[in-house]
């Protein structure tokens, strides 16, 4: 069963901002992209760099040679090492979305819980490793819910 | 083959030597103070890089808390990289002002090199600990650089000379030989490091000319190294300076078997053009040239890279490098493919320890 973690009041994480927090021993980056909240493991599947410290940016597409478009501005996270691009909403890489993915978590905005978050939550189901997907048939990533209730950003993992 | 371990060795031989770490100044005034008076007003000028790197040039996570330049904060570097991975020796290779060597004013370029080297010695090598370093040489001014190598090269923690990968003439040319004489005399290997290609007074960044993108420039770093190496072989530098070693930094390495085979094949037919060579060209390279790992190639099957490492006798010729704190840093834990134990020991530490003559215990190396 997924554990609920209150990250911060939603007002403290406005659009375009991020926070990196430790949730029961797992470093997680929580992002506000145009009012929606997303959470990614702070761990690049390539060489395990702190992915969530990278630049939030956009990416390019091309209509025809010499005509490059800028798109998805604010929706792309670029790893601070090696510059790999990931979709913040899904954790999927831009260059190989089905095989190379960062781990993403469910995020919501919910009211603050009267009970404090359990500190002993068992997150052992999240392996402390990364898989760049080079040998896996299935994407190596499970997704997690993240919400915001009564203006608390909440991550489930 | 075993899972790689990185742990500091305190009583035995080093287990991890990082051969390409870029230290930087927080403020240019730190270096300007070492310039001769006639250049102090000019400050530190160097050609800017021509190409835009969308991945950014330095790692965002390497920016110190005070917002200063990545690589400028010793505690941050230790905490984030040296202690994190258990680096026994950090071979400092200077910072991105390597491009000062592409300036047309050879006297100014040479004095910039001297000043930045004095700064590196006072600011970094005097720290002791894991830090050993390089003297940046501006190849435009070989005799002044030879004098500098003999002078500053006496510092116990200066372990090599760094020259830019690109210059005005290929490095085999006799014009540069005064530097080679000095480096050999001082027992200092010469490392070649990219960045200058196409800048200032150097030649175009690729054999095809000026590409449009950083992508093209970076992909072809190895080809520039090939151009310099074949010149060093053919013009007789390696046979003329048998005690001088060269290090190819940041050029990748999977092209090396191709390069060696190609030279040996041509030598059989064209030997008369290169009578300096008394044995196949590949043997000079294997004896006197070392290659650093970063940016390591990443084939889908890591075994393919391992085969290439075997073809180039990596157990004796390859040395680990991270390129910290730049955008294409390679992790000592995750970048290098699984290797047989003996090869791994050589690549991760042994080859660098031997080349640079480093004692087992970094603390035993004087800092002044």
Contact: A80, B300; criterion CB under 8 Å: no
Q: Hey, is the C-beta of B329 within 8 angstroms of any chain A C-beta?
A: yes
Select from B297, B307, B299 the least CA-distant residue to B340: B307
Which DSSP symbol is given to B36? -
Contact: B331, A82; criterion CB under 8 Å: no
| Burial classification of residue B166, based on how many CB atoms lie within 10 Å of its CB (0-12 exposed, 13-18 middle, 19 or more buried) | buried
Of residues B60, B329, B333, nearest to A54 (C-beta) = B60
Judge whether B63 and B70 are in contact, CB under 8 Å.
yes
Measured in residues, chain A has a length of 157
CA–CA dist B83, B103 (Å, integer): 37
With a cut of 60, say whether residue A147 has pLDDT above it. Answer: no
Q: Hey, is the C-beta of B55 within 8 angstroms of any chain A C-beta?
A: yes
- For chain A, the residues whose C-beta falls within 8 A of a C-beta of chain B are 46-50, 53-55, 78, 80-83, 134
Rounded to whole angstroms, what are the CA distances from B26 to A54, B74, B110, B125, B344?
A: 22, 11, 22, 16, 35
Of residues A50, A83, A134, nearest to B55 (C-beta) = A83
Angle between helices B256-270 and B281-288 (to 10 degrees): 140
Name the residue with higher pLDDT: A93 or A119: A93
Q: Report the pLDDT averaged over residues A4-18.
A: 96
Q: Hey, is the C-beta of B218 within 8 angstroms of any chain A C-beta?
A: no
Judge whether B88 and B130 are in contact, CB under 8 Å.
yes
Contact: A82, B55; criterion CB under 8 Å: yes
Q: Which residues of B touch A46 (CB under 8 A)?
A: 334
Q: Hey, is the C-beta of B336 within 8 angstroms of any chain A C-beta?
A: no
Select from B323, B89, B289 the least CA-distant residue to B190: B289
Residue A139: per-residue pLDDT: 44
Chain B: give the shortest CA distance to residue A101, in Å: 16
pLDDT tens track, chain B, 368 positions:
444 555 555 558 999 999 999 999 999 999 999 999 999 999 999 998 889 999 999 999 999 999 999 999 999 999 999 999 999 999 999 986 678 889 999 999 999 999 999 999 999 999 999 999 999 999 999 999 999 999 999 999 999 999 999 999 999 999 999 999 999 999 999 999 999 999 999 999 999 999 999 999 999 999 999 999 999 999 999 999 999 999 999 999 999 999 999 999 999 999 999 999 999 999 999 999 999 999 999 999 999 999 999 999 999 999 999 999 999 999 999 999 999 999 999 999 999 999 999 999 999 999 98
Chain A residue closest to B56 (CA)?
A83
Chain A residue closest to B300 (CA)?
A134
Contact: A50, B61; criterion CB under 8 Å: yes
Chain B residue closest to A83 (CA)?
B55
Select from A99, A67, A77 the least CA-distant residue to B56: A77
- Global pTM reads 0.92
CB contacts < 8 A, A to B, total: 45
Which residues share a beta bridge with B358? none
Alpha-carbon B276 to chain mean position: 26
Contact: A55, B328; criterion CB under 8 Å: no
Judge whether B196 and B101 are in contact, CB under 8 Å.
yes
Residue A1: per-residue pLDDT: 79
Q: Hey, is the C-beta of B65 within 8 angstroms of any chain A C-beta?
A: no
Q: Hey, is the C-beta of B56 within 8 angstroms of any chain A C-beta?
A: yes
Q: Which residues of A touch B330 (CB under 8 A)?
A: 47
The side-by-side arrangement of strands in the sheet containing A55-64 is A55-64, A67-78, A85-87
CA–CA dist B233, B242 (Å, integer): 12
Select from B343, B346, B222 the least CA-distant residue to B294: B222
Q: Hey, is the C-beta of B297 within 8 angstroms of any chain A C-beta?
A: no
Q: Give residue A136's pLDDT band: very low, low, confident or very high (50, 70, 90).
A: very low
Q: Report the pLDDT averaged over residues A105-129.
A: 70
Q: Hey, is the C-beta of B334 within 8 angstroms of any chain A C-beta?
A: yes
Half-sphere exposure of A22 (CA within 13 A, CB side): 3
Contact: B59, A47; criterion CB under 8 Å: no
Contact: B334, A47; criterion CB under 8 Å: yes
What DSSP string runs through B170-192?
Answer: -TTSGGGHHHHHHHHHHT--EEE
What are the φ and ψ backbone dihedral angles of A33, each rounded to 5 degrees? -110, 105
Long-range (24+ apart) CB contacts under 8 A made by A13-20 are A13/A37, A13/A153, A15/A74, A16/A56, A16/A74, A18/A52, A18/A56, A20/A50, A20/A52, A20/A53
Unique residue bearing structure tokens 């910039």:
B112
The SS3 call for residue B118 is: helix
Residue A155: per-residue pLDDT: 97
Q: Report the pLDDT averaged over residues A66-90.
A: 96
With a cut of 80, say whether residue A120 has pLDDT above it. Answer: no
Q: Hey, is the C-beta of B3 within 8 angstroms of any chain A C-beta?
A: no
Judge whether A9 and A152 are in contact, CB under 8 Å.
yes
CA–CA dist B335, B320 (Å, integer): 10
């Amino acid at each position: 069963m997924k554990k609920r973690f209150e990250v911060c009041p939603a007002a403290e994480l406005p659009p375009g901002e991020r926070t990196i927090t430790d949730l029961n021993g797992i470093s997680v980056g929580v992002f506000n992209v145009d009012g929606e909240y997303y959470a990614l493991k702070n761990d690049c599947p390539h060489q395990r760099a702190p992915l969530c410290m990278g630049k939030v940016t956009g990416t390019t597409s091309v209509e025809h040679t010499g005509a490059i478009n800028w798109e998805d501005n604010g929706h792309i996270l670029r790893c601070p090492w090696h510059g790999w691009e990931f979709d913040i909403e899904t954790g999927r890489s831009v260059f190989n979305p089905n095989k190379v993915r960062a781990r993403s978590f469910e995020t919501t905005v919910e009211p603050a819980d009267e009970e404090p978050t359990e500190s002993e939550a068992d997150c052992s189901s999240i392996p402390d490793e990364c898989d760049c997907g080079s040998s896996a048939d299935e994407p190596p990533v499970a997704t997690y819910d993240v919400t915001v209730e009564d203006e608390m950003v909440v991550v489930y993992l | 083959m075993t899972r790689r371990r990185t742990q500091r060795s305190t009583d035995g031989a080093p287990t991890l030597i990082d051969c390409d770490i870029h230290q930087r100044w927080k403020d240019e005034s730190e270096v300007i103070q070492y310039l001769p008076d006639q250049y102090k007003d000019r400050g530190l000028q160097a050609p800017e890089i021509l190409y835009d790197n969308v991945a950014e040039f330095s790692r965002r996570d390497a920016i110190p808390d005070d917002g200063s330049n990545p690589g400028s904060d010793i505690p941050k570097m230790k905490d984030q990289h040296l202690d994190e991975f258990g680096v026994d020796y950090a071979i400092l290779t200077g910072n991105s002002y390597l491009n000062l060597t592409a300036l047309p004013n050879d006297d100014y370029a040479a004095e910039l090199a001297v000043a930045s080297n004095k700064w590196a010695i006072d600011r970094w090598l005097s720290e002791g600990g894991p830090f050993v370093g390089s003297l940046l040489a501006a190849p435009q001014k070989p005799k002044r650089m030879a004098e500098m190598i003999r002078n500053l090269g006496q510092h116990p923690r200066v372990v090599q000379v760094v020259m830019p990968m690109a210059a005005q003439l290929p490095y085999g040319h006799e014009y540069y030989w005064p530097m080679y004489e000095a480096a050999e005399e001082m027992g200092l290997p010469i490392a070649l490091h990219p960045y200058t290609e196409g800048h200032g007074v150097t030649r175009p960044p690729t054999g095809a000319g000026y590409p449009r993108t950083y992508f093209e420039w970076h992909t072809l770093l190895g080809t520039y190294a090939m151009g310099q190496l074949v010149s060093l072989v053919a013009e007789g530098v390696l046979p003329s300076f048998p005690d001088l070693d060269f290090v190819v930094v940041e050029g990748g390495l999977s092209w090396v078997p191709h390069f060696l085979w190609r030279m040996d094949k041509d030598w059989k037919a064209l030997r008369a053009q290169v009578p300096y060579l008394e044995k196949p060209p590949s043997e000079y390279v294997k004896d006197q040239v070392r290659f650093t790992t970063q940016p390591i190639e990443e084939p889908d099957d890591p075994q393919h890279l391992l085969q290439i490492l075997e073809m180039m006798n990596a157990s004796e010729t390859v040395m680990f490098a991270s390129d910290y704190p730049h955008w294409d840093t390679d992790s000592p834990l995750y970048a290098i493919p699984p290797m047989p134990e003996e090869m791994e020991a050589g690549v991760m530490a042994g080859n660098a320890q031997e080349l640079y003559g480093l004692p087992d215990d970094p603390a035993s190396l004087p800092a002044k």
